[in-house]
Each structure stands twice: as C-alpha cells, then as structure tokens.
Structure 1
Amino acid sequence: MKNRFDFVIVGAGSAGCVLANRLSHEQRNRVLLIEAGGSDWNPWIHIPLGFGKLFNSKRENWLDYTVAEPFLENRKIFQPRGKVIGGSSSINGLVYVRGQREDYDHWERLGNSGWGYTDLLPYFLMAEDQAHGLSSFHGTGGPLHVEDVPDRYQICDSFIEAAQQAGYPRNDDFNSAGQEGAGYFQMTTKRGVRQSTAKAYLKPVMKRRNLEVVTHAHVTRVVTDKGRAVGVEFLSNGHVRKVSAEREVIVCAGAIGSPQILQLSGIGSPDLLRNLDIPVAASLPGVGRNLQDHYRSMLVFRAIQGLSVNDSLRTFSGKFVSGIRYLVGRRGPLAISAGIGGGFFRTGSDVGRPDLQISISMFSTTEVPGRLDKFSGFTASTIQLRPESRGTVSIKSANPLIPPVIQMNYLSTPKDREMAVIGIRLMRDIATRPGMRAVIEEEILPGQSALTDAQLLSHAKERGGSIFHPVGTCRMGSDDDAVVDRNLRVRGMEKLRVVDASVMPTLISGNTNATTIAIAEKAASMILNE
C-alpha cells in the first residue's frame, strides 16, 4: 500500500463508494478508500429480505444504541449502521424515496445556495438506472438500478384501496411530480438482488490502477497541521498507519461516525475536547449537534391466514419453497424490501404537504426481536416526516475504539408527541375501511383497548423505535453552528470535507439513502470542477 494519495476517503458507505468511483474516473487522481468493515461476501447482504439477518451481525454492523431516552421510558434505542463495504446501503431496507421538492428548497432558504430541488434533481437522475425508463423525473444508465417490488401482495393492495376510500389519492411513483398518496415503494435492487453502493459504484471500478481500497481499517483521526487536513491515521492489523492526502481528506462515515472522527481529530466543541485532553484544531461547537431521525410508531395486525410473509417463513417447508422461488426466479418473500408499500399523507386540511409516512411490512415481530410471529401478521409503521426533536453525538473518550454517546431525544417536543398519536389514528382510520377490513382479522398492537390519546402515546413510547435515518450532525450552513459550508468544506479547516447524511440541515420527507447518494454525486462534481 502506498502512503501518498490525492484524495483519502474515510468510509466506504453510501457516499464513500460514490466518491471513490467518480473521483478515480480521472486517472491523474490517486484515490484511497478506507473502510472499517470488510467485504460484502455474506449472501444475506445481496438477498433483499436478508437485512433482517444483518441487524445483529457484529461482522457487518456497528450495533450502536442510544443512551436512555428520557421521553421513551428511558429505553435505549437500537441504531444499526453498516460496517461493511457499501456501509448502510448494504444492510438497509432497500426503499428508494427521494423526499419532497420543498425539503431541498428549504435547505436553500437556510442559506445553502445550490442545494434546492432543481439543483439536486440532475444528481438523482445521474445516479439512477430506472426500470420505468427515462423521464423528466427519472434517469437511466446510472450506476444505481431502481425497480418495482417483483410481486404484488393482497395486504398492500388492500391498503392502497382503503387509503383511496379514506379520501387519499393513489400514487404509483412517489419520486415524480408529487409525493402524496398511497402505493408501492420502489427498491434499490436489480433483478431481485440488492444494489448497494458497493455493488453499483465500487465493484465496477475496483481494477482502476489509481484506486486503492483498504478494509478492516479503523480510522482514529484526521491528521491536521496549522488549519489544514494533511492525512489520516488508522488502525490496521493491530498497527497504526498514516497516509497523506495532497488534495483533500473526505469524511464519509455517516451521521454517527463523521462527528466522532472530527471530534477525535480536535474539531468540535472546545469544552468537550479539552475535557478529554484532545488539542483543539478547529473550534466548531456544532459538530455532533442537530441530530435528527425518523421515529416510528408500530401497529401490528393479524391478517387472514396465508397473506403474510410470516406464513411463508416460519416453517421449514415454507422457507424451503421461498428459497427455491428466490433462487429460480428472484421472486417471493425473500425478494421484498422492509416496507413494500405505504404512502405519504397530510394529517390535516391545513397542512400544505405530506407530514406523515406509513410503511407496510409484510411481516410482524411482536415478541422476540427478529423472530416472526406465529400468526399471520403484518406491520404498519407510522412516521412523522419532519420531527422537531434534536439530539447529539459526542465522544466520551479520546480512545477511538470506544463508541460515542448517542442521544436522540425522540418525542421530546409536544408536536412530535402529538404526531405520534395522530399517525396511529390515521392508520387506524384506513384499517377500518372496507378495503382493509377484507384482509384484517384484528389489531394486535396497540390493540383495541388502547383508545385515548394518553394510551396511544404510551404505546408509541413503549414500543416505538427508529426507522434508521439519522442525519444532521455536521450540518451544512453559513451560521456559527454550521459545520460545513455549501461546498461541504469543514469551516475553519482547509482540505477537509464531510460528504454524507450528516451534512443535511434537516431531515428529508422520507427514506434517506437516495438523497445521501445524490449528495455524494453533487460533491464529486464540485470537487472535479474545482
């Protein structure tokens, strides 16, 4: 391995793989990509429903938890994130959603010129290889294949029908002119196989002579000198290695990992750093602040026997048949995403755009985490799209192997608590419509005995959890608390950028992986144009 590169990229996740591909396209650029995890050899990574096998895998997952959350009965909430080539795009639920036009226009109004919807749309199109074909909202020929769920399911069809009966429109493409309505989600798969950024962006260019990828390398800090990033230090095979970056260090470790690495490098709140005896390289109090995530409240229904994935996968014979279906035709239960369908809804006539997402999962796990229920069950997750609650990520030691403290503060505002109840009631209303009554036998959770707002809020606090979309901890902006500028350069530090979900000023209205990829595409374009 060489020691001198033009670009050193920290983290081979959703953003890092994109940057490695685009920056190494120019042969004069010497690019190093550093990943703490290993290769994506595990077959469950590539089987869509295999994400359930990866949530508790130490090999592919950092297995983070929050500290006790004060508004969730002091429960610690699981925060999985990828520790493998492809990062979280190798272990996520595969749902492809871009959010709403207004999300990005809001970023621009916050002072981030060049980040409005019309600015970002070309990068969504650049990334995409859309199964529906080329249009003003979709691209073809890009690295990332996006396609429909291969099969249709009666439960999801009934949900769509019931939503229409409740007065909501049908929407066959959440990533086009408008997001509102009910329909099937699209997936980041290609003929039934997961399209992580490792598979879509990195592996096709691995043989480039100017690109080097090192795995099982835990970055300990960015090396700085007089206000400039000059390299990266990492642990590999028990040894400390250092490499230099002659042009830039680009941190792509995600909303948890990126602020941790910056703080370990002396970039962050001076009070935090001095308390840990870390020399201050750049005073940036905003590092680790502004943490946001989508919290889900969960409803579980008992369906008519035979309609749920529970029926197919809880017996040996069912697993065998499902395995054959997947191996032969890339269809069946193993070919589905975490949420195959659902919708985006306005919770009141005075709400200008959808503020609630419902995701329908064709399985349920009410007792033992990860173990399918013995009954024919499905899950409806209700998700407030733009929560007000804000949390923090902060290191508690100068030891880079000690995980940071993650405090999400879920449901810490009255609005967020109100939305948790509204979401459950909205889903219940859809469930009572004729379309869904035809497939539902009973509501298991929270159960018909939970009627008052207080009872529903208690259920949300006791049984809800993350939908795994943390963002915002290295926020883009021009104010004193911003961490990066609109070019994603770390403020007060030369030759250092952050490119991942942590730079989002606010959560987008939906799943975050597609947006993270688009951010990386735009960042690569900016860097190459410079």
Structure 2
Amino acid sequence: EHVCEAAAAADNADAVPRRGREGPLQVSHGRNALGTALYEAFIRAGEEAGYGSMADYNGCRQEGLSKMPMTVFHEAAHPRKGERCSASAAYLEPALKDASKHPHLSTQADAHVRRILFENDRHDAAADAHAGGPPGRPSEAPRAVGVEYITGGERRVAYAEREVIVCAGSIASPHLLQVSGIGSPELLGELGIQVVAGREGVGANLQDHLEVYHSFEVLKPLSL
C-alpha cells in the first residue's frame, strides 16, 4: 500500500512512518520548537483558524502549521551539538578524516568544472582545449567518462573508472549539463554548443521556494 494512501486511511496521518531514522545526517526540531510555549501557542492558533497542523510537513500533507525540522546536530554527546549538520559534515568530512577506510576518496579544492567529458573526448581532450569547442560526437548514445576543470588558472582533466556523478545543486547541475551539450537542442544551438544529447527538460521548470517572513514584538520573555 502506498504511504500516502495508508496515511489518508489512518486516524492520525502523521503517525504513519515515512522517513528513515538511521544514518549520519541528523534532523531535529530544535530546542525552541520542543520547549517554547509561544511556539505551541502559534500552532494552536493556526488550528483554531482552520489551517490545521501536522507533525511532519515533509510527509504526505503539506498544508497547515508544523514545527520546523532542521538538519542540526542534536545528540547530547556530539562535539558539534547545535551546529548545522550539512551533507558535507555528515558524510564527506568523516570520510576524509579516516582515510584508511576510504583509500580511493580524494578532493580537489578551488577547482571549477568546465564541462563533462564523453567517450570520444578521452583521446582528443588536449586538442579540444586549443580548438575552443567540443569535438564531433558519435551517433550512438554518449557515455560520460570524466570532467574537465580549471584550478590555479590551469586546465586539467579527471577520468572516472566507473561513473560520473553530477551533484552541483539545482542551478549548477543543469548548467553543467547544458555547457556539456546536454539540454534543449534549440537553446544549445543559439549558444553555439554542439548537442550531445537532446533533453528538453534540462534547465527547465526551476521553481523557487518562496517564503514570507513576519516579525512581531512579544510582551513576555519568550521567543521562537
């Protein structure tokens, strides 16, 4: 049964588990959300106004008021308790500290990726740097084999043994795909970029996460 269908049928939809609780990325509601009377009063006011409330707005229902979950270190004995628990802090930094467990992991700081390299780039990437544009593409489906990047003013290439993972965020990832020739053929043609794979959806449908902030002066020593 689908999680959302199970939640809709439950007496308390928010009680249906829909997220994992293991792993290094810590998520908490924060000290204020758990112990501030003003926080509770704010949510009750929303309920009385007819907006409803929920225990987890990242679940099946997003309409209503809820305590805000935050990626913050919350374990009592953790040396960084109260600090932001980012993906880098949760996964990358521990791996870099214990190199013996991750002998194949290395990082390159102060590097800007210029484009993704494909199978036929492996042989003529050096010549391409002087030609000013990507080489001709084969008719078969392209296969990413590495990246070209700039560091210290020098152009370098890095080749992958198994796969290339693009994880540069919601803006930089589609940009990197587009400058590498993956995207709308019409748009790439206007920019003089040779098409590697025509994908109309790349770089489209970007939606901002709009927020409106309100500030109020409280009459008692309470704060959110």
Fold match, TM over 0.5? yes
Q: 2:38 aligns with which of 136, 155, 159?
A: 155
From 242, 252, 261, give the equivalent of 2:167.
252
**Structure 1 residue 200, shift from structure 2 partner:** 0.9
CA distance in 2, matches of 1:154, 1:136: 27
Alignment of 1:139-218 (within 5 A): 139-151=20-32, 152-174=35-57, 181-191=64-74, 192-206=82-96, 207=99, 208-218=102-112
Q: Which residue of 2 aligns with 1:69?
A: none
Shift in alpha-carbon separation, 1:157–1:239, aligned structure 2, 3 A: same
Identity %: 42
Q: How does the TM-score come out when normalised to structure 2?
A: 0.68
- Which of 117, 130, 138 is 1:223 aligned to? 117
User: Which residue of 224, 228, 240 maps to 2:155?
Assistant: 240
- Is 1:149–1:184's contact at 8 Å kept on the other side of the alignment? no
Tell me which of 267, 272, 277 is aligned to 2:192. 277
CA pair 282-190 structure 1, distance change in 2 beyond 3 A: same
Alpha-carbon separation, structure 2, partners of 1:162 and 1:241: 58
In the TM superposition, what is the alpha-carbon distance from 1:299 to its structure 2 partner? Answer: 3.6
Is the 1:137–1:175 contact (alpha carbons within 8 Å) kept by the matching residues of 2? Answer: no
Q: How does 1:311-326 map to 2 (within 5 A)?
A: none
| SS of residue in 2 equivalent to 1:271 | helix
Query: Given the superposition, is the C-alpha separation of residues 137 and 275 from structure 1 closer, same or farther in structure 2, using an over 3 Å criterion?
Result: closer
Write the distance in 2 (CA, Å) between the matches of 1:177 and 1:288.
27
CA positional deviation for 1:284: 2.1
SS of alignment partner, residue 145 of structure 1: coil
- Write the deviation string for residues 70-102 of structure 1: whole angstroms up to 9, x where unpaired: xxxxxxxxxxxxxxxxxxxxxxxxxxxxxxx66
CA shift, 1:163, in A, is 1.7
Bigger Rg, which one: 2
In 1, the alpha carbon distance for the partners of 2:60 and 2:193 equals 49
Q: Quote the Cα distance in structure 1 between the aligned partners of 2:198 and 2:64.
A: 45
| Offset, 1:177 | 7.2
SS at match of 1:221: strand
Deviation at 1:170, TM superposition (A): 4.5
Distance 1:176 1:287 in 2: 27
Question: Letter of the aligned partner of 1:219 in structure 2?
Answer: V
Is the CA contact 1:266–1:279 (under 8 Å) kept in the aligned structure 2?
A: yes
The 8 Å contact of residues 164 and 170 in structure 1, kept in 2 or not, is answered as yes
Counterpart residue number, 1:265: 180
Q: Which residue of 2 aligns with 1:125?
A: none
Shift in CA distance, 255/180, structure 1 to aligned 2, threshold 3 Å: closer
Instruction: List gaps (5 residues or longer) in structure 2.
Output: 8-15, 75-81, 121-137
| 294 and 306 in structure 1: CA distance in 2 versus 1, 3 angstrom threshold | same
Q: 2: CA distance between counterparts of 1:263 and 1:177? A: 33
1:394-425 deviations in Å (ceiling 9; x for gaps):
xxxxxxxxxxxxxxxxxxxxxxxxxxxxxxxx
Q: Partner letter of residue 89 of structure 2? A: K
Q: How many angstroms apart in 1 are the aligned matches of 2:39 and 2:48?
A: 14
Aligned residues: 179
Distance in structure 1 (CA, Å) of the matches to 2:53 and 2:216: 22
Does the 8 Å contact 1:147/1:187 carry over to 2? yes
Which structure shows the higher strand fraction? 1
